């Protein structure tokens, strides 16, 4: 039997939740007069060897990207993300021990002559060690995903441009130099599938494979046959990599798999993320960064919610895990109250205190916008809410909430596992 949520009940629940949140926040602020902890003076440290459980989070208001340890929830370091609306996420090379940030600068602050750079950081000290100037056309979109990528082997870095036409810039990292700009008319995003090969999605319902020469110049562009309808059911560009394949969800909740290993991109027949009953109940994908794949267990995580057409960016009320082999849902994870976590953080409330527990437990959950998973045998699942910037950490296999990340800022949805 189909279930539909009552609009009046939802509004009443929201009013009660808001009133509870305001009351708890007022109590938290009042408590500060009796328990004010002095700020800890900053320390300059060298990072340890990289962990599989590290994650980068953007902080768009202050133009930063922050590195966290998922095992402790501790903030490890910060790099700048200047000249970007929401922050183009850092690209990390363990092979080279370097971290790369795409940045844009104007001679008059927010106007004047534009110059774009790849800024190079030492991954252990997070000190700037160099920069590479690239054409001043780097694309910038709200979610900040797939605008640039390291190709396998970490020799080439590819940046997506959109001013006025679609192109990509290729950077040779060992030589620290810009190599070439390649026109990819109508195709966007950078999806690595090899040391000198990457995929793109195109506005005519096809995919494009771009192959580079040994020195990083254009060798071959190969398009697929049309496989999705850009009007009736377009694909979201926030894909999940599966080796030489990429997975994309459509607005209506169909999963498309594209294999880039052959002579031309080969799309597989899509399958539905939702059953007939779930579609009647209006379940659909949601959020900003809504897919994450853990390859060892073949689990695909998706942010979902109940809503009508056009709500594909709304926060997800649940996270569903799918068995890719069986193509069926095997787990449902309920997001924590990241609004309560935000109120606790803003009030400076000790997370181990009773008031901290009340805020995290009793404030209604606003859902999550983003999900990423680590790639190791004991994976962590990170979830985040865009308006508050708050993030939680789960055991990706059993769905148990482990901890929250602290000092995540005032907003932001983007998360990246190096």
Residue 92 is part of a domain; what is its CATH number?
2.130.10.10
Please answer whether residues 90 and 78 qualify as being in contact, where contact means their C-beta atoms are separated by less than 8 angstroms.
Answer: no
Separation CA 77–CA 69 (nearest Å):
10
pLDDT tier for residue 21 given thresholds of 50, 70 and 90? low
Structural domain includes residue 43: no
Summarised one tens digit per residue, pLDDT across range 137-194 is: 999 877 778 999 999 999 999 999 988 889 999 999 999 999 999 999 899 999 999 9
Does 7 have pLDDT greater than 60? no
pLDDT at 322: 98
Structural domain includes residue 28: no
Angle between helices 338-346 and 354-362 (to 10 degrees): 150
pLDDT at 12: 45
Beta bridge partners of 105: 115
What are the φ and ψ backbone dihedral angles of 339, each rounded to 5 degrees? -70, -45
Percent over 90 (pLDDT), the chain: 74
The helix (H) or strand (E) run that includes residue 182 is strand 177-183
Structural domain includes residue 74: yes
> What are the distances in angstroms from CA 126 to CA 129, 257, 283, 326?
9, 37, 42, 43
pLDDT at 254: 97
Please answer whether residues 165 and 183 qualify as being in contact, where contact means their C-beta atoms are separated by less than 8 angstroms.
Answer: yes
Helix and strand counts by DSSP (H, E) for the chain: 4, 30
Structural domain includes residue 37: no
Separation CA 288–CA 359 (nearest Å):
25
What are the φ and ψ backbone dihedral angles of 412, each rounded to 5 degrees? 120, 145
Structural domain includes residue 198: yes
Separation CA 372–CA 415 (nearest Å):
7
Structural domain includes residue 9: no
Separation CA 91–CA 94 (nearest Å):
10
Structural domain includes residue 29: no
What does the pLDDT average to over 368-376? 97
What is the domain extent for residue 251? 50-416
Sheet holding 114-122, edge to edge: 91-93, 98-106, 114-122, 128-134
Structural domain includes residue 44: no
Please answer whether residues 188 and 143 qualify as being in contact, where contact means their C-beta atoms are separated by less than 8 angstroms.
Answer: no
pLDDT at 110: 82
- Average pLDDT of the chain is 89
Look up the pTM and report it: 0.88
| Count of domains forming the chain | 1
């Amino acid at each position: 039997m189909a279930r539909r949520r009552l609009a009046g009940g939802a509004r009443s629940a929201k009013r009660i939740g808001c009133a509870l949140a305001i009351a708890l926040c007022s109590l938290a602020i009042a408590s500060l007069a009796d328990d004010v902890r002095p700020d800890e003076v900053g320390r300059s440290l060298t990072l340890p060897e990289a962990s599989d459980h590290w994650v980068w989070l953007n902080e768009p208001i202050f133009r930063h990207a922050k590195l966290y340890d998922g095992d402790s929830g501790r903030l490890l370091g910060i790099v700048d993300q200047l000249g970007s609306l929401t922050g183009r996420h850092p690209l990390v090379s363990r092979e080279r021990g370097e971290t790369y940030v795409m940045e844009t600068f104007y001679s008059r602050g927010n106007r004047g002559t534009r110059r774009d750079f790849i800024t190079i950081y030492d991954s252990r000290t997070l000190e700037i060690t160099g920069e590479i100037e690239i054409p001043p056309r780097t694309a910038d979109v709200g979610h900040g995903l797939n605008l640039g990528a390291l190709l396998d082997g970490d020799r080439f870095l590819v940046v997506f441009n959109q001013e006025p036409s679609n192109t990509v810039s290729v950077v040779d990292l060992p030589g620290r130099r810009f190599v070439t700009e390649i026109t990819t008319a109508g195709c966007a995003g950078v999806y690595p599938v090899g040391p000198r090969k990457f995929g793109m999605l195109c506005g005519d319902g096809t995919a494009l494979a771009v192959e580079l020469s040994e020195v990083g110049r254009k060798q071959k562009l190969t398009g697929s046959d049309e496989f999705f309808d850009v009007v009736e059911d377009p694909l979201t560009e926030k894909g999940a990599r599966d080796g030489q394949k990429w997975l994309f969800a459509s607005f209506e909740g169909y999963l498309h798999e594209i294999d880039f290993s052959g002579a031309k991109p080969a799309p597989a027949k899509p399958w539905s993320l939702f059953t007939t009953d779930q579609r009647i109940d209006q379940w659909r994908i949601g959020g900003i960064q809504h897919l994450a794949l853990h390859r060892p267990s073949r689990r695909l995580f998706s942010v979902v919610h109940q809503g009508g057409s056009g709500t594909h960016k709304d926060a997800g009320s649940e996270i569903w895990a799918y068995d890719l082999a069986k193509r069926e849902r095997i787990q449902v994870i309920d997001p924590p109250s990241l609004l309560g976590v935000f109120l606790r953080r803003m009030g400076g409330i000790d997370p181990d205190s009773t008031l901290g527990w009340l805020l995290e437990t009793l404030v209604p959950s606003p859902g999550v916008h983003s999900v990423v998973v680590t790639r190791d045998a004991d994976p962590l699942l990170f979830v985040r809410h865009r308006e508050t910037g708050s993030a939680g950490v789960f055991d990706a296999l059993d769905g148990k909430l482990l901890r929250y990340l602290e000092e995540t800022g005032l907003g932001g949805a983007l998360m990246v596992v190096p």
